[in-house]
Amino acid sequence: MKQTLTKGDIIIFKAEDDWFSKVIAWFTQSDVSHAAMAYSEDSIVEVGAYGIGVHKVDISEGNDVYVMRLSTPLDPAPLIDSANHYLDAKVRYDFPALIILAGLLIYRRIVPTTKLLNITYRILSAAGLMLDEMIQHVMLHHSDRAMVCSQLVYQIFYDCGGDYRIQIADGCLQSDPVTRKVSESICLYDLLSDSFAKQISTTEKSLPPVTTHFLTQREMEELAQELYTALCETEQQSLENLDYLIKTESPDMTSTLSSAKHFLSKLEEFLKLIKCDMPLDAMFVTPGDLVYHATNLSRIGTLSLKRIPSSNQGVH
């Protein structure tokens, strides 16, 4: 393809060599872990650890990235206007990776082995504590400038409405139908029905108290490594215990779902505080979804892209 960008192109970066990226890539069986949008022919807009910003890029060298575009061409002006709204607000990157993992565990199909449920419970509990801290921070500082992870790209298109909105196969989130049979996996969110929620409420008082503390970065990375190992192991296992986990009062399933319910309620409270207009499940659309599961996006090709450092840019 011609070595250039078009305003509104979606730029998808290959996954980095860390455990969080590996887990995020696993959920969509992909090789990517970050997304940005073309702001001009030689710049991209993205949100990172230091906030939102526009980067000048060199597209003659650097790392390979996928370039995605709406299958039906639309005027890119609304997309740039939406990006400018977030640039003017000086949006911060405020969702720790552990919260993203928690959301993926709730909304994605998994094989619910006892080991995986225990790890999921620990992640959801720790992520719930993080959300509590974030809620208190927003209330104390009266700030509504927070942004949710690298979902900036999805949000920009979502804000434009209509045909601009990116459509992900099977709703917002899904398992890979090739590598995972639906009959062999479950979605924790689907089990949080009214009837099951009532069962959780009546049994959670007898569950052991949550002892999860605020995790250090090293502890979070170790937990992500445990999760990745457990997810990979489940691909080799049969689901002989699936009926046991779902149809009986399994402590593993009940405690995990109780934590999932608590996490989602905290997340909903947080999003209301920061005035984020996006469905809860859409918070956890991954770059892999944009590449492999978006029904109204086309992959234009790949580019070699490198950010050009500048002291005036807000993302590093």
Segment (H or E) for 52: strand 51-70
| DSSP state letters, 99-146 | HHHHHHHHHSEE---HHHHHHHHHHHHHHHHHHHHHHHHHHHHT---E
- Give the residue from 129, 133, 149 showing the smallest Cα distance to 141: 133
Contact by Cβ (8 Å): 30, 292: yes
pTM: 0.83
CA distance 102 to 104: 6
- Give the residue from 223, 24, 23, 210 showing the smallest Cα distance to 129: 210
The tens place of each residue's pLDDT in the chain, 316 residues long, gives 456 899 999 999 887 788 988 898 888 888 888 899 999 999 999 987 677 899 999 988 888 899 999 999 999 999 999 999 989 888 776 678 899 999 999 999 888 888 899 999 999 999 999 999 888 888 887 665 666 657 889 999 999 999 999 998 865 565 444 444 444 677 888 888 755 556 555 555 554 555 566 788 889 999 999 999 999 887 665 555 556 565 556 677 888 899 999 999 999 998 888 888 778 888 888 899 999 999 999 999 999 999 888 755 444 3
Alpha helices (H) along the chain:
19-27, 77-88, 97-107, 114-141, 152-160, 188-191, 194-203, 217-234, 242-247, 251-273, 287-292
